[in-house]
Chains A and B, each alone.
Chain A
Amino acid sequence: MNLIVNEQYNIGHICTRQQCDLGFGPKTALRWVSAHHEKTDYSFVELDRESNRFANVLQGLGFSTGDIFFTFLPKAPEQFFSFLGGLKLQVICGTLFSSFGEDAILDRLGDAGAKGIVTKKSLVKKILRVRDQLPKLQYIIVTDIEEHQSADILSFWQLMRDASTDFIAPLTSADTPSVLHYTSGSTGKPKGVLHVHGSVLHQSATAVQVLTLCDSDVYWCTADQGWVTGTSYGIIAPWTLGVTQLHYGGGYNAKTWFDLLEQESVTIWYSAPTALRMLLQEDDDVFSGCDLSQLRHIFSVGEPLNPEVIAWAERVLGHTVYDTWFQTETGGIMISNRPGVTVRPGSMGIPVAGVEAAIITDDGTVLGDGEQGNLCLKPGWPSMFVTYLNNTAVYGQKFRSGYYFTGDTALRDQDGYYWFKGRSDDVINTAGHLISPFEIESALLEIDEVAESGVIGAPDDLLYEKVVAFVCLHSRFEYSKQLELKIRLHVSNKASSIATPQEIIVVDSIPKNKSGKIMRRVLKALYLGEDAGDISTLET
């Protein structure tokens, strides 16, 4: 069955109306299990209608092609209706982690010039604190208030009640902008990674080739929708194939998760190494009575997957875990271990069909097997990002010598397997989230007591990397438990809980080069007790 019918690339249409046309209308598209374990099933017909309603809501509010709106929600059905409805209208949909603080919100909504945002009552105040700096933000749509509060703070369900369930998505070309995710770099503000509707081709194809999804599957992707995995493989790809998706509104709990896997007869499970490492720490008794006979495969994404986790899963769960690699910019899986290909524990796997990877030096020389260098991809796969919003210069810098430089370093062995080695920049990967040290350093400098700050990622058994903050205090202040708390809460509430330093180390000064740039590699060497290498540029 062709995914693209009559040149209609519209993701919202393909995930809903097209599935109904294929005969999946009455089938459960979304099994929603709330944090309190209330279950609600939405068929493909209902998903189509609810997303149609939201498309009509946005249209009624004056949204049109190319406008940008965000969702800022914990997992909730409204997330899916909004996302798909917006795409149907050719509005660009950005997704935000609900753990984001006001600075993170301001950076993203401000850069995007967002016209609207869908959120929850408990999160509205974070937006209101920066509202006066967001002149283009016209509507805050709230999912858990009964009635409109004002002309611009609107009730999601009041709007939905008044909206028609009929909507026909306009014919949408492959290059029409679709999804916007912000990603962190080691310097500057987060960058808006813009994708297009044509990305659906690669996302759907890899869901078949790698995840082995078919329409008889019950699939659970635990990723938050703020993450590219949460949209590419937690919304889009499975629904292009008529797959039933389980989504759970509660947090991590080993027993609950395994009860869900068993009771909902999940066949394909896509999670993250940090979650799997948390499960590994549980007593085996938690899993011993669990019937996972329906489960075909487990996949992982976000950080390198330790061989120990794979060994544990094979011993305790009776399944291997297939690690997959991609990033926000690639929009879909690029390199993976997968069924039918021998797993090499600890490796990223081999490139998927249509993806050409290479290991390249900084000056563009392609390296041979066994040599470590920049992990690069030959441009041209359908889910490739099309720009960094408002930042075409940095976008251009990512492409050199005919390749896209991913920012990761790796090597390829003689059998074509890729092995992740690290980042070529200072970006921190904590629990699968890329965190900018610059953003945390900036938040730290807002604290009265802090004179200077430098932030690094340090190895961590659970999170892969943890955030370690070095702070230099103004001379009139002393470090205390209260100040530790103040620092923690400030970073958590301004940036996000994910960015909160796991360790805070007070130092007399922060090492900088003669241009005033923080020398994070010196801090990292100091933390790890290693040689700092060349420090000739260190300002003394």
Chain B
Amino acid sequence: MELQERLNEVFCQVFDDEDIRIAPEMTADDVDGWDSLSHVNLIVAVESTFGIRFTHKEVLTFKNIGDLMNCIAAKVQ
């Protein structure tokens, strides 16, 4: 499964909405319920799904979903 598809499933699970369709340019303002508290859930879910760990600095530098995808891709290589 493509990384974006797997990540999409994580978003659907975390934000409890199976209709979410993520795209690299999307930000927290494009997903209902994506606030600072649910962001922690998202990071935990991504780490668990992809078997990776983010540093605190990495988490702070994600400006959009594309940044998140690039970081995941670099870690799972």
The CA of A122 and the CA of B19, in the complex, are separated in Å by 8
B17 contacts chain A at the CB level, 8 A cutoff = yes
Instruction: For the complex, count residues of B whose C-beta is within 8 A of A.
Output: 22
Q: Which residues of A contact B44 (CB under 8 A)?
A: 481, 484-485, 488
Q: A126-B16, A485-B45 known; A500 and B32 CB under 8 Å?
A: no
Partner of A101, one of B14, B16, B19, B35: B16
Look across to chain A and name the residue whose beta carbon is closest to the beta carbon of B31.
A122
User: Which label, helix, strand, loop or mixed, suits the secondary structure of the B interface?
Assistant: helix
Q: A481-B48, A489-B13 known; A500 and B29 CB under 8 Å?
A: no
CB-defined interface of A89-110 with B at 8 Å, one 1/0 digit per residue? 0000000001101000000000
Q: Whole-angstrom distance from the CB of B26 to the nearest CB of chain A?
A: 11
Asked if B48 and A489 sit within 8 Å, CB to CB, the answer is no
Give residues of chain A (490-521) contacting chain B, Cβ–Cβ below 8 Å.
Answer: 492-493, 497-498, 500, 502
Q: Which residues of B contact A252 (CB under 8 A)?
A: 35-36
The CA of A101 and the CA of B16, in the complex, are separated in Å by 9
The CA of A492 and the CA of B39, in the complex, are separated in Å by 11
B3 contacts chain A at the CB level, 8 A cutoff = no
Asked if B13 and A481 sit within 8 Å, CB to CB, the answer is no
A123 contacts chain B at the CB level, 8 A cutoff = yes
B24 contacts chain A at the CB level, 8 A cutoff = no
Q: A36-B29, A251-B28, A251-B29 known; A99 and B41 CB under 8 Å?
A: no
B74 contacts chain A at the CB level, 8 A cutoff = no
Asked if A497 and B32 sit within 8 Å, CB to CB, the answer is no
> Which residue among A123, A481, A497 has the maximum number of chain B CB atoms within 10 Å of its CB?
A497
Give residues of chain A (461-496) contacting chain B, Cβ–Cβ below 8 Å.
Answer: 481-482, 484-485, 488-489, 492-493
Asked if A98 and B33 sit within 8 Å, CB to CB, the answer is yes
Partner of B41, one of A35, A126, A497: A497
Asked if B17 and A500 sit within 8 Å, CB to CB, the answer is no
The CA of A101 and the CA of B37, in the complex, are separated in Å by 14
Asked if B29 and A489 sit within 8 Å, CB to CB, the answer is no
Q: Which residues of A contact B19 (CB under 8 A)?
A: 121-122
Asked if B47 and A500 sit within 8 Å, CB to CB, the answer is no
Q: A481-B47, A482-B48, A485-B48 known; A122 and B41 CB under 8 Å?
A: no
B70 contacts chain A at the CB level, 8 A cutoff = no
Please provide the 3 A-B residue pairs with the shortest distance between their CB atoms, ordered closest to farther. A35-B29, A497-B38, A493-B16
11 residue pairs A–B, Cβ–Cβ below 8 Å = A35-B30, A98-B33, A99-B38, A249-B29, A250-B29, A251-B36, A485-B41, A488-B41, A488-B44, A497-B41, A500-B38
- What would 14 more interface pairs be, CB under 8 Å, given A122-B17, A481-B47? A74-B32, A121-B19, A123-B32, A126-B16, A249-B29, A250-B29, A482-B48, A485-B44, A488-B41, A489-B16, A492-B14, A492-B38, A497-B33, A497-B41
